[in-house]
Amino acid sequence: MRAFHQWLGVLTFLTAGLLDAAPLAVAAPPATDRPNVVLIFCDDLGYGDLGCFGAKTIRTPHLDRLARQGMRFTDFYAAQPVCSASRAALLTGCYPNRVGITGALDHRAKHGLDPTEETIADLLRARGYATGMVGKWHLGHLPPFLPTRQGFDRWYGLPYSNDMWPYHPEAKAGTYPPLPLYDGDRIVDAEVSPADQDRLTTDYTRRAVAFIEENRHRPFFLYVAHSMPHVPLHVSSARRGASKAGLYGDVVAEIDQSVGEIMQALDRFGLDRQTLLLFTSDNGPWLSYGPHAGSAGPLREGKGTTWEGGIRVPMIARWPDRVPRGTVCREPAMTIDILPTLTRLTGASLPVRPIDGLDISPLLFAMPGASSPHRALWFYYHQNDLEAVRSGPWKLILPHSYATVNPQAPPARDGRPTKYASAKADLELYHLVDDVGETRNVAASHQQVVARLQLLAEEARADLGDTLTQRAPTRARPAGVATVIP
Ligand code: MG
């Protein structure tokens, strides 16, 4: 059988250093070789927004319980600090520039994730899984690119972000058409209203629980891509004001409640022990929204930058009896690793085309001595700018410009953002274990490390290109382009 079954035999203690918690004995694995997978993906949730990641004002009891029952990853990354690119990486196991997706696609996009790319849903469906999605798609809103053409049997949700919407306070009149809500290939609400947005998280949760119930007798993959806490913030009337942490706190508390309901459903149907539940976020907090943004905790900057606050995200994994309880993994990993890890755990095939992610199940199972399978993680942004490289504890910042909140501008208020200013990053080196906030550039005193990471950057340029140094990609694949526009 697969190698991970062998590992389970020796999984009776945990390595020091990798994990914080005391060693725990691990019971015999349940008799399933096709565990269910529930993947919950938040939008713009910050690294510091959950109790179990240090939040002080926002309470997240269900997510904290999830972390106590499973593993918390402290050094987990989204592939890029923006919605569409981040989602492309999650679902394909590739750097998003590998599959031609950059930035955030809006209603004018004629392109999307090429349907011939194999998503987690495609691969698990081929392995006999029921595949369902609720929530925000954002990988192309035209019919050839929708979730039901990308491996999902079912989908209920929005085609792109909830701010690409005529009612968003920042939207100039006429910028956006009405925002549609889909059920499968059908638009079931042609004009999402503010009241509809208030109900989104509740709606998604109800659909997620119904999917679990409906498919409880067969293996399933459920992808819950919350539209929240991306602005404009909306929450059900029952929860408005309930968190005592402002509207943003109410919205995160509602997501926490949603996770609790999904956990409860798994428990009710006796599926806990055969279900791997993953929770993470697509990028860091959108800081220009001030009180309507989350917190990056101790990290520098937020969404739209490759400083840690933009790309490092909270990540929790729970699989009772498999993922040791109450553990913490400090090894670097990325959303691109979820696909190859799931194919390993479920016996599904890897995609035919090359991917970038690597199997992190040894980390999940806290195998003795398990470490990050990556020599380096590369951080691209914008069109194809290679802005940073991480290897082990080190992060090399490559010279680039980035947007930072302008302290001189009037502050964000009532869901309207403040302004950004442009700032410049030089060639800078940070030791993330000693300096998670990227405050002390130690490039001058560690020139050999700088040289080594520059070589790693060069590897990425030779493969995926780099607009900052005018390098063309050699092995990137194009996005899909719709030939017939409806
Ligand atoms: Mg986002």
Enter the tokens of residue 17.
């250093």
Helices (H) and strands (E) in the chain, counts: 10, 20
Enter the tokens of residue 9.
């035999």
pLDDT at 409 over 80: yes
> Which pLDDT tens digit goes with each residue over 158-209?
999 999 999 998 888 889 999 999 999 999 999 999 999 999 999 999 999 9
In this predicted structure, what is the pLDDT of residue 485? 57
Query: From the CA of 430, how far away is ligand 1's center (Å)?
Result: 25
**Residues 456/375, Cβ–Cβ less than 8 Å:** yes
Beta-bridge partners for 150: none
Quote the CA–CA distance of 339 and 91 in Å, as a whole number: 7
Enter the tokens of residue 417.
């953002």
Query: From the CA of 309, how far away is ligand 1's center (Å)?
Result: 13
E strand or H helix at 475, and its extent? none
Query: From the CA of 420, how far away is ligand 1's center (Å)?
Result: 17
Alpha helices in 269-351 (DSSP H): 308-311, 338-346
Round the CA-based radius of gyration of the chain to a whole number and report it: 21
Enzyme catalytic residues = 83, 138
Query: From the CA of 43, how far away is ligand 1's center (Å)?
Result: 4
Alpha-carbon distance values, 373 to 244, 333, 347, 376, 414 (Å): 42, 8, 20, 9, 44
At 396 the three-state DSSP class reads strand
Reported in sequence order, the residue ranges of 218-314 that DSSP labels E, i.e. its strands, are 220-225, 275-281
Which residue do the tokens 């913030």 mark?
A: 233
Percentage above 90 pLDDT, the chain: 91
> Which pLDDT tens digit goes with each residue over 127-168?
999 999 999 999 999 999 999 999 999 999 999 999 999 999
> Which pLDDT tens digit goes with each residue over 335-365?
999 999 999 999 999 999 999 999 999 999 9
Quote the CA–CA distance of 271 and 273 in Å, as a whole number: 6
Query: From the CA of 227, how far away is ligand 1's center (Å)?
Result: 9
The residues spanned by each domain of the chain are: 34-364, 377-474
Segment 264-289 shows an average pLDDT of 98
Phi-psi region of 102 (alpha: psi -120 to 50; beta: other; left: phi over 0): beta
- Judged by average pLDDT, the poorest of 8-22, 74-88, 424-438 is 8-22
According to CATH, the topology of domain 377-474 is Arylsulfatase, C-terminal domain (3.30.1120)
Query: From the CA of 283, how far away is ligand 1's center (Å)?
Result: 5
Q: How confident is the model at residue 266 (pLDDT cuts 50, 70, 90)?
A: very high
**Residues 111/140, Cβ–Cβ less than 8 Å:** yes
Q: How confident is the model at residue 21 (pLDDT cuts 50, 70, 90)?
A: very low
Enter the tokens of residue 388.
């940073």
According to CATH, the topology of domain 34-364 is Alkaline Phosphatase, subunit A (3.40.720)
